[in-house]
Amino acid sequence: MDTTAPATDVPRVLPRAEWVKTLPQTIVASCVLLLDAEDRILLLRYAAGQPGAGLWGLPGGMLDHGEDPVGAACREVHEETGLVLDGPPRLVGYDHRADVKGTGPVIDFYYYGGRLPAEATVRRSGEHDDHGLFALDELGSTALLPALPALTALHTAALAGTVVPLREGLPV
């Protein structure tokens, strides 16, 4: 039998509502991989004045208040390209980055949005100043977000029907 007296100077456990306020806030974003009939990836280049200006990336962005990742993926594709997905996108990857530009942790969800029809027309938002379809082997010297190893892993997962975990922008 333990006869040790409990300490009286130990801080009390916070009520749940107060404890939740102490947890780190995490930004959540959704990005969508769209392929053409030749397995080329649709990428958008961020315009001057945008975070990531000059970098090429997938359509996507942060969730709005109360929005879920799939809804954000569909919304972002439409806002940034004018395209409407045929159906719900399929999860192909996720990434946890501990700190992005001093804003704290970010979790990115990556989805496969399907094949672009040959007649698809991209209408870029003001966020982007260029777009194109790229084969992975054309991207070696391109400034990308996510980096080429992650984009390659996501491309493979989209074609294979699998999901790839990423950490800090790289396959685990």
In tens, the pLDDT along 89-101 reads 999 999 999 988 8
Written out in words, the top-level CATH class of the domain with range 25-171 is alpha beta
The answer to whether residues 22 and 67 touch, using CB atoms and an 8 Å cutoff, is no
Q: Is the pTM of this model over 0.85?
A: yes
* pLDDT reported for residue 14: 87
* pLDDT reported for residue 10: 63
What stretches of the chain show up as alpha helix (H) in DSSP? 16-22, 69-81, 148-160
Low-confidence ranges of the chain (pLDDT < 50): none
In tens, the pLDDT along 48-60 reads 999 899 999 999 9
In tens, the pLDDT along 152-162 reads 999 999 999 99
What are the domain boundaries of the chain? 25-171
